[in-house]
Amino acid sequence: MNRTYWVCTWVLVAVAFIASLVFYAQLPDRIPIHWNIQGKVDGWGPKSTVWLMPGVMVGLIGLFALLPAISPKPFELEPNNTAYRIITLATVALMGYIHALSLWAAVQPRVDVGRAIVGGVMLMLAVMGNVMGKIKRNLYVGVRTPWTLANDRVWADTHRVAAWWFVGAGLAGFVVCLVGLPIWAALIPLAPAIIWPILFSYLHYKRLERTGQLSNDMSTAL
């Protein structure tokens, strides 16, 4: 998985840089760089900004490579290797996808980039949800509340709940974008997917505490 991950991430970066180079001469002096919730362009920049997203992708790869090295005990990222790599790859791929859409919109201004971007984000959330239940306790990825960070069982149970919600919200949002409903409707499923796991972690922690099932993971690990 580790070798495949590195090959895939750097291939994505190389494709992004090559695409920028190939399309650069065709780009107008001013290109769209941001879209509002209605899918309309509300931000412009010089065509030199076409190099920004590939640079962001390189920065993300470096950041995700650094985090395991600086993770303190007992929050090491090593147990998360496969899930962590999948989430990292999905994030870098999303940046590459947005970059491709931006190039397309600069050359073909009538493209509905806003809808395509939201649809891509929804799919990425579904991918993240698919591996969320495999993430071990850490400081960087997952539902990091005081109650999940304090207890392994609360962390694990919360992430199993969050996994279902993220997959469901991501797929529902993608379908909304696919069938042509208003873009803002795709964001509606995200509210419970974000709020409920946080609330669940608190309620679950308190229930385990009341029933005497809460082990002191932090003091043992430290």
User: Closest Cα partner for 147 from 188, 207, 192?
Assistant: 207
Cα 99 to Cα 215: distance, rounded to the nearest angstrom? 46
* Residue of 146, 153, 141, 159 whose CA lies nearest to 197: 159
CB 120 within 8 A of CB 186: no
Residue 150 exposed, middle or buried by CB count within 10 Å (0-12, 13-18, 19+) = middle
Residue 33, phi then psi, degrees to nearest 5: -130, -5
- Top-confidence residue, 116 or 79: 116
Percent of the chain with pLDDT over 70: 94
pLDDT tens-digit map of 136-195: 899 999 999 999 999 999 999 999 999 999 999 999 999 999 998 888 899 899 999 999
pTM of the model: 0.85
| Residues in Cβ contact with 7 at an 8 Å cutoff, skipping those fewer than 6 apart | none
Domain boundaries, the chain: 2-221
